Amino acid sequence: MDASLNQANTAGIVARAQELFDDLSFTAAREWKAAKPGRKVVGYLPIYVPREIIHAAGMLPLGIVGGGDQLEVIHGDAYYQSYICRIPRSTIELGVSGRLDFVDGMLFPSICDVIRNLSGMWKMMFPGVYSRYFDVPQNYRDEIGGNYYVNELAELRHDLGELRGSPITDEELRASIAAYNENRHLVRELYAFRAQKPWQTPAAEVYLVLRAGLVLPVEEHSALLRDYLAAAQAEERPMRDNCKIVLTGAFCEQPPLNLIKSLELAGCYVVDDDLLLVTRWLTENVPLEGDPLQNLSHAFLHHSESTAAKYEPDEKEKGQHLVRAVTRAGAEGVIFAAPSFCDPALLDRPMLQHVLKDAGIPFIAFKYAENSGQMQPIREQAGTFADSIKLWSGA
Amino acid sequence: MKTFVGIDLGSTTTKAVLLDENSDVIGRGITNSRSNYSTAARVASQEARVDTRFTLFRRALAGAGGLAGNLDEFLNALERAFRLEQFVEQLSDLEQTCLGHIKGERFATLESGVKEALGQVFARLREEAPELYAPGAKRKSDFFRDIAGSRYHVHAEEVARAASVPYDLLLNVYDKSIIDVENRPPEGNLSDKFRRALARVLTSDSSIRSTAAEIQKTIESVLDVDLEETYLVGTGYGRVTLPFSKEHIRSEILCHGLGAHMMYPRTRTVLDIGGQDTKGIQVDENGIVANFQMNDRCAAGCGRYLGYIADEMNMGLHELGPLAMKSERPARINSTCTVFAGAELRDRLSLGEKREDILAGLHRAIILRAISIISRSGGVTDEFTFTGGVAKNEAAVRELRKLIKENYGDVTININPESIYTGALGAAEFARRAFEGGSSTEATA
Amino acid sequence: MSTVIVTPKASPKEVLKDASMVKQKDMMAAHYDRLTNAPKTGAKVAATFVPGNLNELIMCFDLVNNLPEVNAIQNGLRRTSGGFVLEAEKIGHSEDVCTYVKSDIGMMAKGNLAPNGEKFPNPDVLLLSYTGCFTFMKWFELLREQYKCETIMLHTPYMGDGKVTPNMIEYMVKQLKEEVIPKLERISGVKFDIDRLREYLKKSAKAEDDLVWVLQSAKNKPSPIDAYFGGIYYIGPIFGAFRGTDDAIEYYKFLREEVAERLAEGKGPVTPDGDMGKEKYRLVVEGPPNYTNFRQFWKMFYDEGAVVVASSYTKVGGTYDFGFRHNPDKPLETLAEYCLGVYTNRSLPMRIDMLSNYVKEYEADGLLINSIKSCNSFSAGQLLIMREVEKRTGKPAAFVESDLVDPRYFSAANIKNRLESYLQMIEQKRASARAA
């Protein structure tokens, strides 16, 4: 693969992102690791880990979000009952089939009981890999949750330093924070541009470009983002008579790419979503001066995305992030798309729907699995939704 | 002689196997399970006893003279004649039962007309009966309900039209009666039926007339043998109401494991894909179950799934495998969820995917599920025995062979055409062992 | 045809209850009366969960404790949960999620009646002392939406690495000091008195000693108790609203005496059909039970002579058998430690260790997993647990599935088939071992 990527058009950039997306053996990450002796790769699951710390250790943070619809699960089903979502079984498949044999560490964020338990399974099944359940505070006061979180971050920092063979310095951390600040800034810019001109940046493209950030070094990904944004702004694409929607509930197990495409084909421009939240979890730049762990903690407590896996201490705030997203992106409705058997998304859904109802925002809801093969029902629902929104707004 | 009976009450069919003292299979019987398990057990068991007589006839006639070279032909003829006798007997039962059901307001003015029509229908049925059992004749099923039912409908429609009797009345009488008849096994004396059947064969086949007396003598000697039901063991899918007392029940998993061991003594892993469940069983060198797992609550990937697919595609169940074999590019089917099967299928067909490719993908999906269940039970150890209805499906077998090879290397894979009797065979062997071992192999309590 | 083909006759028996069960029933009834009378007596009500239940602390503020899981269980046993679950699904809850939650939401929609027929009072505070299960967090957000009352979160970190770290304890103690206690003071109007807390903790420890003695009596052969079906009754007071009370001390003293007596007489467990017959199989059970068909499920075991000698579910509201007791000398730390130690807050490798040790220490024939659809906290990973425990103990495991309080997910034939096959397999293995 040509590293000095400089395609002028979106098609070339998207093709590369698609190639990375299709590659279930993570060749790009393998090549990165092989390029220099001593390099290490640390995998992480949705929704959020402080990638800065992994990066600061000179390691590649590798986002693992299941196996998608092209991975045949042969072994993974032996570990899970039929009523458990898809992502852990395809993740196990990736592990058991050797596709992750180059990964030196795995972080399992605090998102739900299934991923939590997977952390222990990974310890049992892959004893040579550094596996950690990455807990985050559900208390958002600096002196309580913050203290706890800083200590957790310090433990992670310590462990990864050990894995590397030398401690991670503050300077390294600051440099990494800067790299990710830039990356997040670019992602937010892309999202802002899409909200304005969604026809210029189809949801599936934005998704692929974001997804590339899970397997590429952050610097390379930032370059890709910049190129894509420039190309997308430069190209004129036909505008369709679509309505604008916010997609929510898809923060963990990923919908098939076809599903995202189907939404737009059915008449819904996706102008905001909660896909791949890790790429923009922290909503403001993390300061470079001062204690880096304190800064990361502060950002997590006070400037991070809202999602079902997080406790909302303030009842009045519950679901408001969604209303704000709708307003910010100029959306006309919300589509709840949750993975089957996803406890956080599905338990949260009724509360969010009540908030939307009170705010007069229309919505629909359906479920999917990362390997859903049938898009017809989804196309129909999304199409009907788009039509009804147009009817309302026309009336 | 001592016989050991194993009965397997399945959700759709009930199977019985008779063993002799040497653990040799001497008879097999099968019937539809109906809603009445006691009857199903009785009928299957009686069928197995009939089959046993044929085994004994064969043994006796092979040793005696008079049929050199024609033994198979003779026994086939005898069996057809015997089935005909049974059929005619049940027809009479059905006719009597139908007559008994001609009452009530609906028949007030039509009673005699209906009676007359019934008489004609049954006369026709009796008349054509020998044809049904002629050499080479194909029957859709060997169950009385299936054979009689389809012909009854044909004749009843014609007779009703000709006689201006409402067709639905004839159907109504039939529907009420068939359940009664089905729930009572043919009661006539078996030996007499064999004798009448033998007489039919002897009169129709001139080639053996010269040795008729000798044959007759041998047959009589076999009929004289008392088939003592020395011990019976029943099994069946977790039914609360198996019609056997507790000491005569063994779990179907244990029976299945032992049955597979009986068929292939080197078996260590057994996979059974039945209509509503899939089992992975590990057995030791004595056929004792060491571990097992079954599909979880979700019945996706079981045999019934193929049934839905067949219905959805308007095909026969047995046609699915051959069509799937024609595929060159199997589709990746991601869900074996029975609930969504139809929708997914239509979606794919509408997208222009080929039927054979979809089917090939479906077969692979089913086998993948089965592989995960085997894996839960402890994987595959040589030799591997595959049983159940899906083992008859060549496309499923092809995928299974492929996956076993990929994941467990070279393993001998056994598939027995009589695998439907695996559970009953194991049960019969349990019966034999229970008798042989007295109380020592019984539960300690 | 021989006579062994029989038509079975069913003979329903009188249900027997032993004395401690009667006492517990009275305690529960009194508690429900206290709850439903709260509007009259002016008592304030705190809703909270079983795992991480801070009963001693709640009592320091004179609050009455209402446990929605226990209400869901009651509704399961009374066979009303099915309708409640449907009601919740009708108003927008997914069929995929926890049926405790849906039973609770459905019950509220249908009048919110307690088992005594009176209306449950609205809680004054939701004490979300949550541990071991993410669903709790969503559950109380859902209740908060309904009741619009104050919610206090006490976050228990997960023992992902199999140990309690000082950071975890410090975090929890801080939450107790700076969040939980000040808010409870404000809501209840009662000033926090740490000595009062110490008193309650002392009482807790006393009852806990007796509970552990009772649960460990199952190491005897025959076991005088069933540590799963029976165990669920035994843990009731300590997991529920009675930890730290004199009532609980008395209950466990009484229970211990009863069990000691059975032990002396060489008796097996008490079942709803009276004394159990000869003990033929000893099992360790992982996972919660099914409550809609609780008795039917249990009967499948005792009819076959199978007794459960240890279970993980009886550790879901606190794990006491490794020595932990509520410690009055470290009142806040001990509450933190208690929350951290509940079974579902333990990592998967810890659970595997625990279950393997149970099989060995209680000399069990194997592990039976009841996999509960509602409960991913328990269920996700159970198939690996099964594999590992089999490997470590050399004993076979079995797997059945049901749900907590959704009657749609209890298939008797399915479970019976697997259970009987499992028990017969054990028997056959023994027979062939004897023969060898």
B402: CATH = 3.30.420.40
Distance in angstroms (rounded) separating the CA atoms of residues B276 and B257: 18
CB-CB under 8 Å, B373 with A373: no
**Structural domain contains residue B362:** yes
For B336, B345, B359, B367, B400, the CA distances from B355, given in Å and listed in that order, are: 16, 9, 6, 19, 21
Residues of B in contact with A376 (CB under 8 A): 343, 346-347, 350
The residue range of the domain holding B385 is 266-415
- Listed as ranges, residues in chain C with pLDDT below 70 are 1-18
Q: What residue of A is the nearest CA neighbor of B368?
A: A74
The pTM assigned to this predicted structure is: 0.91
Rounded percentage of chain A residues whose pLDDT exceeds 90? 94
**Structural domain contains residue B369:** yes
- Listed as ranges, residues in chain B with pLDDT below 70 are 65-66, 68, 238-241, 297-299, 335-341, 439-445
Q: Which chains touch C (3 or more CB pairs under 8 A)?
A: A, B
| pLDDT mean over A74-99 | 95
Number of other CB atoms surrounding residue C278 within 10 Å = 10
Instruction: Give chain B's largest Cα–Cα span.
Output: 74
**8 Å CB contact between B427 and B233:** yes
Domain ranges across chain C: 19-435
Q: Which residues contact A373 (CB under 8 A, 6 or more apart)?
A: A69, B332, B333, B334, B335, B344, B347, B348
Residues of C in contact with B42 (CB under 8 A): 1, 5
Encode pLDDT of B40-98 as tens digits. Answer: 898 899 999 999 999 999 999 887 766 767 888 899 999 999 999 999 999 999 999 99
CA-closest candidate to residue B248, choices B7, B440, B1: B7
CB-CB under 8 Å, B372 with A371: no
CB-CB under 8 Å, C428 with B289: yes
Distance in angstroms (rounded) separating the CA atoms of residues A24 and A70: 9
CB-CB under 8 Å, C415 with B288: no
SS3 A63: strand
Distance in angstroms (rounded) separating the CA atoms of residues A63 and A85: 18
Chain center to CA of B278:
18
CB-CB under 8 Å, C432 with B238: no
| Number of domains observed in the structure of chain B | 1
What six digits make up the tokens of C14? 């009188």
Write down the pLDDT at residue B298.
Answer: 67
Number of other CB atoms surrounding residue A248 within 10 Å = 28
Strand partners, C398: C368
* C299–B contact, CB cutoff 8 A: no
* B443–C contact, CB cutoff 8 A: yes
**Structural domain contains residue B250:** no
Query: Nearest-CA distance from A311 to chain C in Å?
Result: 7
Distance in angstroms (rounded) separating the CA atoms of residues B44 and B235: 13
**Structural domain contains residue B341:** yes
Strand partners, B25: B19
Distance in angstroms (rounded) separating the CA atoms of residues A343 and A341: 6
Helix (H) or strand (E) holding A368: strand A363-368
Write down the pLDDT at residue B442.
Answer: 40
CB-CB under 8 Å, A116 with C134: yes
Q: What residue of C is the nearest CA neighbor of A145?
A: C171
**Structural domain contains residue B436:** no
**Structural domain contains residue B288:** yes
Distance in angstroms (rounded) separating the CA atoms of residues A187 and B303: 49
Q: Write the DSSP assignment of B37-81 as a string of letters.
A: HHHHHHHHHHHHHHHHHHHHHHHHHHHSSS-TTTHHHHHHHHHHH
For B282, B368, B374, C8, C397, the CA distances from B371, given in Å and listed in that order, are: 13, 5, 5, 38, 19
Distance in angstroms (rounded) separating the CA atoms of residues A183 and A229: 13
Write down the pLDDT at residue C226.
Answer: 98
Classify C79 in phi/psi space as left (phi over 0), alpha (psi -120 to 50) or beta: left
| pLDDT mean over A153-180 | 98
pLDDT at residue A208 is higher than 70? yes
For A337, list phi and psi in degrees, rounded to 5: -125, 110
Query: Nearest-CA distance from A54 to chain B in Å?
Result: 35
Confidence of residue A217 (pLDDT cuts 50, 70, 90): very high
Q: Which chains touch A (3 or more CB pairs under 8 A)?
A: B, C
What six digits make up the tokens of A344? 């956080």
Query: Nearest-CA distance from C410 to chain B in Å?
Result: 9
Query: Nearest-CA distance from A202 to chain B in Å?
Result: 23
Residues of B in contact with A371 (CB under 8 A): 334-335
What six digits make up the tokens of A357? 């109802």
* Cα angle B196, B202, B208; round to 5: 155
Query: Nearest-CA distance from A247 to chain B in Å?
Result: 24
Helices of type H across B164-300: 167-182, 190-204, 212-224, 252-263
**Structural domain contains residue B61:** no
Q: What residue of C is the nearest CA neighbor of A366?
A: C94
**8 Å CB contact between A281 and A306:** no
**8 Å CB contact between A334 and A353:** no
Helix (H) or strand (E) holding A376: helix A376-394
Q: Which residues contact C357 (CB under 8 A, 6 or more apart)?
A: none
Distance in angstroms (rounded) separating the CA atoms of residues C261 and B190: 62
Write down the pLDDT at residue C14.
Answer: 47
Confidence of residue A175 (pLDDT cuts 50, 70, 90): very high
